Amino acid sequence: MTQTTRPKLSREVIIEAAMRLVDQHGVGWLSMRKLGAELGVEVMTLYYYLANKNAVLDGLVDHVLAKVRFDAVGPAAHWPDWLRGFAFSFRQALMSHPGVLPLVAAQQFDGHRVIDAVLAAKAALTSAGFSPQRASHVLSAVATLVLGHAQPKSPPPPPNPAKENNHRNRSAAATPTTPASPSPSTP
């Protein structure tokens, strides 16, 4: 009997497989069942590594945002350059996996890498003379600008034939089936 070789599972392997599926089909298509099939394992096996689908989605966001850099290099007076570098890095990370963009735009970030990066950026801006509150507002404004700029660049979700057929069926049911005949009141 031959044994099929499966990749050794880990949280990272599962997140990378989920990323491939999202890149190909969009985030709305992703399910734990499809992810398990992609990895050649039963769905319940995934729950050993990740508690639920939300944990997978958080992992996708964390994976993409781990690429974002905020390099506070040089004197504090260079904070505009730091922010520009952050904006470019953030946009580049988003565009590397545009299927994850809706998750980034809609979610609070719980990933440790994201939190560490935000804290480092906030500390750098504070050392440049910003109040902690102002540093948070500046980071939020730049992130919102980047998200808004990246969104139109992301591809539209692939068509969902099941949804289109359902829409057509509902439209057909709503359309009257009586034959068209001139109405006596129509000139």
Q: What is the pLDDT of residue 30?
A: 94
Tell me the two tokens of residue 64: 């993409």
Whether the full predicted model's pTM is greater than 0.75, yes or no, is no
Q: Which domains does the chain have, with CATH numbers?
A: 11-60 (1.10.10.60), 64-153 (1.10.357.10)
Q: How far is CA 146 from CA 19, 171, 174, in A?
A: 21, 39, 42
3-state secondary structure of 163: helix
Total residues found in the chain within this entry:
187
| pLDDT score, position 179 | 45
**149 contacts 94 by C-beta, under 8 angstroms:** no
pLDDT of residue 183: 47
Locate 155 and state its tokens. 């591809």
pLDDT in tens, the chain (187 residues): 445 566 689 999 999 999 999 999 989 999 999 999 999 999 999 999 999 999 999 899 989 888 888 777 777 778 898 889 889 999 999 999 988 988 888 866 666 666 777 888 888 899 889 999 999 999 989 988 998 888 865 555 566 666 555 555 554 554 444 444 444 444 4
